[in-house]
């Protein structure tokens, strides 16, 4: 099987980017080990503090964030980073060539039930004329990403990655500690009969999403003329991994509870990297109004609605939004 380095070289990745990715993955392998130890290592449960998002931090959130921060800051490749767990930009090496945004442990509430969790990250070029602590360095649309990935900590530890030359899946071989290519250039089927959404929020969705999901639920007797299955892992990494492996549509729409908050998922370190992976696999990713990767962030923790997956299904969902505007 092909090693990660070989695939990155084949895809034309620059040497410093390859070294940065390897550094990030070294941190993820350490997180994978901590996750696998679970209660034996005393890493389960919550802390007594909240992060900048107003969410109660899990012990593994804090541990994972610190592992990635320390690893990246010592690497020399990173000028600055932004994390779900950090209120402000974290400056690193003034000579670093890259910016990294990451969710250190997506789905961390699943740690208590030994379910799927993961790490998500995106990588951009760092503007060399800006100071490392300048948050405006991160004001770049997703189209400027040079790499995006997630590491899924499941029965096996898997990596989904793109550098703009297709989306590839790798599996961590724990016998020698490297990620091996297990599926190259994956392609989503354009059609699907599977969707992922937190249906408990249905009463809060806007009208187009209410209509779209009601049509899916109606099945063969409804306007879509076929039955759909719903799946929900409660961790974006798990739901997107399923979509990448067998097609589907994943949605986390805006809702009416907080008009000032346009969505739930964060643009820089959740929506953008997943959109890049989905698009490179032949799918589509939208906020309901525009392509996710074209959104220019206004804040490192900016939130956006998310609709992504198999292209024809995303198109149909978006048509519900267009008809509402008409």
Binding-site residue positions for substrate: 106-109, 198, 264
Residues whose CB falls within 8 Å of the CB of residue 264, separated by 6 or more in sequence, listed in order = 252, 254, 303, 305, 306
d(CA 197, CA 249): 9
Q: How many CB atoms lie within 10 A of CB 278?
A: 28
Residues whose CB falls within 8 Å of the CB of residue 100, separated by 6 or more in sequence, listed in order = 20, 24, 72, 78, 81, 82, 121, 122, 123
Q: How many CB atoms lie within 10 A of CB 33?
A: 13
Where is the binding site, in residues? 84, 103, 105-109, 198, 264, 270
d(CA 237, CA 149): 10
Q: Which two tokens stand for residue 76?
A: 């020399």
Reduced to 3 states, what is the DSSP secondary structure of residue 260? coil
d(CA 304, CA 315): 18
Where is the binding site for Mg(2+), in residues? 84, 103, 105-106, 270
């Amino acid at each position: 099987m092909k090693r990660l380095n070989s695939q990155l070289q084949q895809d034309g990745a620059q040497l410093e980017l390859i070294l940065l990715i390897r550094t990030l993955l070294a941190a993820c392998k350490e997180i994978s080990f901590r996750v696998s130890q679970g209660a034996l290592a005393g890493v389960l449960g919550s802390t007594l503090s909240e992060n900048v998002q107003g969410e109660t931090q899990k012990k593994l959130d804090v541990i994972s964030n610190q592992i990635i921060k320390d690893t990246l800051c010592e690497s020399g490749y990173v000028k600055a980073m932004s994390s779900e767990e950090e209120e402000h930009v974290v400056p690193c090496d003034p000579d670093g060539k890259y910016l990294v945004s990451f969710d250190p442990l997506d789905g961390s509430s699943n740690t208590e039930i030994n379910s799927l969790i993961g790490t998500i990250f995106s990588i951009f070029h760092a503007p060399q004329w800006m100071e490392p602590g300048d948050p405006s360095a991160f004001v770049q649309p997703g189209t400027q990403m040079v790499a995006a990935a997630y590491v899924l900590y499941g029965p096996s530890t898997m990596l989904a990655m793109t550098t703009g030359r297709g989306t590839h899946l790798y599996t961590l071989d724990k016998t020698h500690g490297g990620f091996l290519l297990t599926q190259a250039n994956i392609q989503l089927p354009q059609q699907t009969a599977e969707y992922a959404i937190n249906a408990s929020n249905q009463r809060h969705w806007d009208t187009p999403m209410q209509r779209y999901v009601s049509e899916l639920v109606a099945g063969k007797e409804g306007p879509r003329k076929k039955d759909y299955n719903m799946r929900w892992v409660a961790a974006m990494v798990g739901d997107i991994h399923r979509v990448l492996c067998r097609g589907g549509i994943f949605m986390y729409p805006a809702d009416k509870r907080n008009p000032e908050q346009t969505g739930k998922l964060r643009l820089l370190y959740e929506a953008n990297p997943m959109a890049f992976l989905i698009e490179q696999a032949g799918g589509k990713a939208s906020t309901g109004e525009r392509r996710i990767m074209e959104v220019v962030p206004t804040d490192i923790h900016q939130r956006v609605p998310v609709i992504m997956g198999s292209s024809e299904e995303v198109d149909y969902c978006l048509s519900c939004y267009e008809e509402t505007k008409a």
